[in-house]
Structure 1
Amino acid sequence: MAKKGLMIDYLLCTGCHSCEVSCKLEKKLSTGAYGIKLAEDAPWQIDEDTWEYKWLPVPTQLCDLCEDRTAEGKEPSCVVHCCSHCMHYGDLDELAKKMDELDRKAVLYTI
């Protein structure tokens, strides 16, 4: 059986926090506990009227890639609820191939 992982294309993340919320609900996590945490790379000014923000969804130690869901053939909750479609779950080889096709860098997580 092929090893599975989570690919996150940070360029597409809009910072909506749906990954955090869906994970907290799926895992019934308490206040202050996260399976995936959205970090903000501080805004920086591009020109007088333009600011850039970068959002970074980061799986924590509590992330098990929704092993109960994925054992049933479903995707992790964060992937299902990602509004910007920046998260992808699948075989590591396929995700690595998808990363190679991007003209930018993405991050690949495994457990």
Structure 2
Amino acid sequence: MIDSADNATHSLPVTGPTRLHFSEGLRNTFTVDLGQDLLGDWIITQSWSGLLQQRGGGKRLVVGDHETGLRMLQKIAQKKEKIGYRQVTPYHVEYRWA
């Protein structure tokens, strides 16, 4: 619970999804997340993995504010869907071995 007398603790203005998961069939997965670090900076974290190549990676990007981060999430989602990825809900990818 947030104490109204506490000047250091504030609720976050979450106005949209801050974590999105995508899958390209059973081969590749991609996750993008918007959150704050301990210094209060807004960070976009992207991670990906490939089942067949057994490769993965990730990167982090500092954004100016929460609104900018949400816009970037939307742009990243549009790009991924354009190249064939589909959003996975709930946030669990089930792998089936052929």
Q: Which has the higher strand share?
A: 2
Q: Which has the higher helix share?
A: 1
Higher relative contact order (CA 8 A, sep 6+): 1
TM-score if structure 1 supplies the norm length?
A: 0.30
Larger radius of gyration: 2
TM-score if structure 2 supplies the norm length?
A: 0.33
